[in-house]
Amino acid sequence: MRGNRGGHWRGNGTGRGGPRISEPEPDLAGNAAVSQRRTQKFGTTETETTERYDPSVAVVGTCQQHEKPYYRLTTKPNPSIIRPQSVLEDWLPILTKRYEEGNCDYNYVSDQLRSIRQDLTVQHIKNQFIAKVYLLHIKLAARHDDLSELMVCLVCLENLNEDRILKEKQALKVFALRILVSLLQEDRETLVQITSHLRPHHLQDRYVQFSMQVLQSLNGCRNYYRFAQLSTSTPSPVTLYLMEKMADKFVRKDALRFMCKAYRPTLAIDFITSQMCFRDVKQCTDFIQACGAVVDSTGAYLMCKESKVV
């Protein structure tokens, strides 16, 4: 990462000082089924030229169709199947409305968003519109537990930030999400690098402030109670999703181990439910039993001594 003019946070694209990670390149399998779909959709099988695909050379798209599936490019794409930004700007609100009204599922909308991103990327378009597409995809990916797609979009936003495309509020939001993702991955090296570039005025941003509070709750002797409190007041659905992933991955299990050692002989399941922010007693009971905890015959108490949390 590096500092920037005007005090924006700027990432290094990877969080580790390594090479920049750009939008994954588009994939065309080249089989008959794909060719047939292309023919039906665009009236031609000429989806690619015979030239080797060079990502450093921009393509100027001419396609006027809205809908187009995502596929990986192996050679230079034919401009006739690449949509210019104006077409994509028309298509995005239509696609979003279709999804919000329940007329398509997440798999479809995710595929379409990847295709939009691809068309913008091969044309070397780096502006607020592509940032908007990435932010929308992150929001929907969190809603549908698609962590891998969320991660791809977040890295690409970091690259846009490196190119000074993002507005300050967007850059700080990406910074805040990167902290939470690094916590989820238990990547302390990246956390140190990210937070070393934190400036006092960054903490005025509610996303950054929240992420730093989460970091503090999990640093050193983990404060599970504080973490649980924070999970009830997240600034966005995306941060709530990442908090839930952290809770499922290590926070709740670590807290359960601590409770089994600290409380004897029993501990009320209701108490554990509230402390670990489960939706209800059943979700809590299912979780702790899956971890090796023993519940009494009434289902109301955790048997601390008998429980062997793994």
Number of domains in the chain: 2
The reply to whether 194 falls in a domain is: no
* pLDDT tens digits, one per residue of 78-109: 999 999 999 999 999 999 999 999 999 999 99
Do 156 and 279 belong to one domain? no
> Can you give the residue range of the structural domain that contains 30?
5-166
CA distances from 77 to 53, 83, 91, 223 (A): 7, 11, 20, 52
What is the DSSP track for 126-163? -SHHHHHHHHHHHHHHHHTT-HHHHHHHHHHHHHHHHT
- In this structure, are residues 243 and 214 in contact, taking their beta carbons and an 8 Å threshold? yes
* pLDDT tens digits, one per residue of 15-26: 433 334 445 444
Across the range 202-231, mean pLDDT stands at 92
Looking at residue 55, its pLDDT comes to 81
Do 142 and 42 belong to one domain? yes
Q: What is the mean pLDDT of the chain?
A: 86
Do 147 and 263 belong to one domain? no
19: number of Cβ within 10 Å: 9
Do 153 and 281 belong to one domain? no
The reply to whether 217 falls in a domain is: no
Residue 168 has pLDDT above 80, yes or no: yes
22: number of Cβ within 10 Å: 12
**Residue where a domain terminates, one of 166, 181, 215:** 166
Predicted TM-score (pTM) of this structure: 0.81
Looking at residue 81, its pLDDT comes to 94
